[in-house]
Structure 1
């Protein structure tokens, strides 16, 4: 595989993705050892520091492991994982990585006052308005993820078009507000949904069912909260895996 130079050397994520593509192209049954940092830096046209930073992140995610004095190696088991908790993925990409055709439906947009909870999460005044966007993401035509995004109305000048907001919330905020989401803080729980719940109607659930729930606050490039969301996953369709590193004492 030809490994392409990175266009913007300041984008660590692009370097990391390029390394991951390179790793996926390797025949790890024959050789799972990566080239030296100097060689990778030359192939990508970036500094060794940038390469080292990206390799460190891949190591934390379990994709690679290092043997002191020997080299850096690919973890074949980690490459079998389709969906991970970290890094976070956009829903449509997540669904495609699960092996399904992805579609999205915008089911509701409304504007409300932030209130105590919203103001606390977004660090705004309780009387400030927030835009609430509800979407359902489908996997091969079956509802797989229900998501509620909430962001300050004052971030967006002018009207908010349903066609615009149907896009990824990350792309929307980047295009309309210049906000680039770089990280989030997630709380994970479960929720039992009954046939009387609104969620049950959106997710075509005709009987009580447990959903995996992510509640997250998302931060921009200046470390300011820009939106918070609640995500409901049907684990019959979407399952997460994790390759965790262990503390060695």
Structure 2
């Protein structure tokens, strides 16, 4: 079975990602039924309790269907979802899943003081130093996403060099330099005009669509403490989100 063992200290979501990779790697082979729980747990090197938690997550997302007495089956319709709105993933990965080659550049990197609104969003004192960073992300040669993020400067201490920012996403920098993992986020979506987007950003962009999707999010660490606030604008001619829903 072509599936890699999971490290002993991995969490349930790591197991989930391994199973998703296994499903996608075998999609072209027409494999629609997963191995038994006993075989999967042995291949992954984990307990069946941990495996069942991961399978439960995938079932709630609609990726798999468990049929009593028959086994666990892949949901072919869920596999058609390339850019899943319910997943929290890096913008570069979103562009890859849309079938494009990603690249990015830094438009803005500075320090600013938290105003009243930002202090409330990040649960910090008004006036606390924040890092403000803006990325322009490209799908091939076309600008597809503009993303601006804010987080407390104290998480990082010294701000990394421009070279580091050009090589990594905000999530990666927070993890590597601030030892802070963004585990979940709360999201608000709305459609706005390109003019409204550029008024918010304070500059013109290369996004061509006259209407863009604005994603506003607060990211939380493992203790559900807000650590980053972000505004991202998507050209929906290039990036189209999907969501597979299950009736409860």
Q: Indicate whether the TM-score tops 0.5.
A: yes
- Structure 2 CA distance, aligned partners of 1:109 and 1:30? 47
1:149 corresponds to: 149
Tell whether the 8 Å contact from 1:9 to 1:46 is kept in structure 2 after alignment.
Answer: no
Match of 1:194 in 2: 195
Aligned counterpart, 1:177: 178
TM-score (norm 1): 0.91
> Are residue 81 (structure 1) and residue 81 (structure 2) matched?
yes
Deviation at 1:170, TM superposition (A): 1.0
Report the alpha carbon displacement of residue 223 of structure 1 after superposing the two structures with TM.
1.8
Name the structure 2 match of 1:228. 229
Partner of 1:140: 140
Distance 1:196 1:106 in 2: 17
What are the equivalent positions in structure 2 for 1:210-229 lying under 5 Å apart?
A: 210-229=211-230
**Alpha-carbon deviations, 1:159-218, whole Å to 9, x = none?**
43222223111110011110011111111111112399365722343xx71111110000
Distance 1:204 1:124 in 2: 33
**Aligned residues of 2:194 and 2:210 also touching (Cα < 8 A):** yes
1:66 alignment counterpart: 66
Find the aligned partners of 2:196 and 2:152 in 1 and give their Cα distance.
32
> Superposition RMSD on alpha carbons, in Å?
2.0
Q: Distance in 2 between matches of 1:160 and 1:34?
A: 44
Greater shift, 108-117 or 147-156, is seen at 108-117
Whether 1:47 and 2:55 are equivalent positions in the alignment is no
Task: Give the match for residue 92 of structure 1.
Answer: 92
| Inter-CA distance 28–159: structure 2 relative to 1 (3 Å threshold) | closer
Change (3 A) 1:41 1:225: same
Equivalences, count: 245
Distance 2:56 2:13 in 1: 12
**For the Cα contact (< 8 Å) 1:146–1:203, is it kept in 2?**
no
Unaligned runs of 5+ in 1: none
Change (3 A) 1:8 1:202: farther
* Secondary structure, aligned partner of 2:186: strand
**TM-superposed deviation, 1:121:** 1.2
Q: Which runs of at least 4 in structure 1 moved beyond 4 Å after TM superposition? A: 27-31
- Identify which range, 10-19 or 226-235, moves more after superposition: 10-19
Q: Give the conservation status (yes or no) of the 8 Å contact 1:108–1:135.
A: yes
CA offset digits 1:54-103 (Å, max 9, x no partner): 11111122111122333211001111211101222111111111111110
Closer, same or farther: CA 195–212 of 1 in aligned 2, 3 Å? closer
